[in-house]
Each structure stands twice: as structure tokens, then as C-alpha cells.
Structure 1
């Protein structure tokens, strides 16, 4: 898998060396409450298992996953991935950014880059994403990167014993091409 570069970030394959940083960031209750699959409390030592599991899924062609790292100091600040559904030529974008790095545009920068990779290198036809409706930070990123609101699935998932609505956003290859005709990955 290729490393991807942005102005301020490096998106690179995660390694077992990232486990400690992943655990430290994902242990924040505010991260867990905005995601479906991050538990709270985050089990000590489980990030190593997470990394090995996602790397196996990637080898099987089901996933493209990156650790998000700041170029200035090499700090891991979050994770981003595309869950690939190759029979439909689509991918589901998912990401989280550690709370100390919220509000700085890192999520938008990483998501733009992975969308570009998904369309230009993986040749996907559609990329979509879901967000808890009570997590505007996430769905605002989706809007900033050109995704269009497609609808809300009411009480679609359960988080911590309560039903949660999911807002779905998506972008088609043809829409991406119109928006980004001058910016290509070499």
C-alpha cells in the first residue's frame, strides 16, 4: 500500500508500533461516543489486535486503512479507511481524529486524500460514509469534501444501550471528476 501525502499529513499503513498511540487517543470517551465500533473504556492491549486484524482485512482486499500522521512531528493523530465492496465498485469511508487534534482541518485533509485515492487508484464508482446525526464534526467533513447528503436511517444502530440515527453521505465518480478535474494523483 502506498503512503499518501497532503500538505500537513502523511497517511501510511498502520503498524504494531502504533498500538500505544491508538490506545491513548481512542481511550477518550469523546472519541468512543462518536464512533460505532470504538469501545469505552478502550481495553488495554487491544490496539495491537486491532492493527493485526485490519492489516489482514487489507490483505484480503476488503479494506484500505491508513494511520494519519502529522508531518511536523510524526505524531499519530487518527485513523482513516475505506471498506471496499468490490462487486459494487464502492467504498465506505470511515475515520476518527484524536480529540487534541479536532477543529484543525486534519479530518478534512485526510478524507479528501482518501477520496482521491479511492476514485483515481482504486477506480471506485461511489464512496459513501455514515455519521451519527449528533456528530456534526463528522458530517461537516463529508460536506466539505463534496459528499452529498443521501438520507438518515432512523434508530439504525445501537450505541451504549440507545438507538442512534445515522446520516448517510455519498459522492459518485462523475461528481468527483467534475469537482476535481485539475487535481490528479500521479
Structure 2
């Protein structure tokens, strides 16, 4: 797998590179943005738990493919894939200054070339239509809903495995 990938568009080059410890401050701040929390329905971790999670679980895990997204050299967010319950998932988080600029679209496109595992799943919050549309633009198809806590999420899959119904499965 390539260590760095790039795409160009408005706002400069979008690149993916290995995560460094210096990136974590920006990623922590993005995770705590109130509007991002509202849209994702993800409870941000306290500072110590955030850094411990990244340093002890995400970065050293050989199953996790994780990249920092940069725009013009600035940390814009992250993209990560991991295996959970026998399924490979992808997730991403961008800082609000990079929303609505095509950064997520370009970053996810680059990342999908780095992680060839299919099927690949994603489960954005149902109340975040921009995230659902971003995934659908890359070929993810709706395959049902899942509930995390009390929140409904859309289950999407890229490279649908044989036998998976096309219609929503329900929660």
C-alpha cells in the first residue's frame, strides 16, 4: 500500500499520509467541535482518553489503516478502516473549515485506493445526509440501518457480498 496519496481541487492539494503524534492535537480539536458532534452523534472522548485511544489502540493496531488528511499541508482530518464483528469498516472525521469544499470526497477516494478490502462498510448517523451522500458518491449502497445507543445510523456497503439484500434490513 502506498504511504501517501494526493488529489487536487479547489483549496489546494488533498493528501493522505501516515498519522504523526503532532496531528493528534488537531484531530482532538475536530472531535470536540459542537457541530461535528451534533451531526455525527459521536460522543467526544475526554483528552486523556482520546490520546490513549489513538496512541495505544489505533496507531499500533496492524488491522487499522489510518491516514491524516491534509490540505495545503494543514491537518484537515483523518480516515481510518478497521475490522469489527467480521466486517471491515471505514470512518472519517474532517475539521469544520474543510466541510463543503470537496475535501472529504477527494480524501475518501484516495483512501479507497489504499484499502482494497471489500466489502467495506460505513455507518454514518442517519441525520447526517452529507456524509451518507459522500459515501454513495463513491459507490456505497444502503443495506439497512443500525442503532448505536439510541441513534439510528445508515449501514452502507461498498462491494456488496453475495446474498446481501439490496433493500433496507431495518434496525
Please indicate the TM-score interval, normalised by the length of the shorter structure.
0.7 to 0.9
Correspondence for 2:103: 106
TM-score, normalization by structure 1:
0.74
Structure 1 residue 93: Cα displacement: 0.9
Moved over 4 A (4+): none
Correspondence for 2:164: none
TM-score, normalization by structure 2:
0.79
Structure 2 alignment gaps of length 5 or more: 162-171
Q: How does 1:34-113 map to 2 (within 5 A)?
A: 34-35=39-40, 37-39=42-44, 43-44=46-47, 46-52=49-55, 53-57=57-61, 61-70=62-71, 72=72, 74-84=73-83, 91-113=88-110
Q: How does 1:21-40 map to 2 (within 5 A)?
A: 21-35=26-40, 37-39=42-44
Q: Which has the higher contact order (CA 8 A, sep 6+)?
A: 2
What is the root-mean-square deviation in Å for CA atoms of aligned residues? 2.3
Structure 1 residue 43: Cα displacement: 2.6
Correspondence for 2:19: 14
Q: 1:46 to 1:76 in 2, by over 3 A?
A: farther
Q: 1:15 to 1:37 in 2, by over 3 A?
A: farther
Q: 1:141 to 1:26 in 2, by over 3 A?
A: same
Q: Secondary structure at the match of 2:143?
A: strand
CA contact (8 A) 1:152 1:168 kept: yes
Q: 1:151 to 1:12 in 2, by over 3 A?
A: same
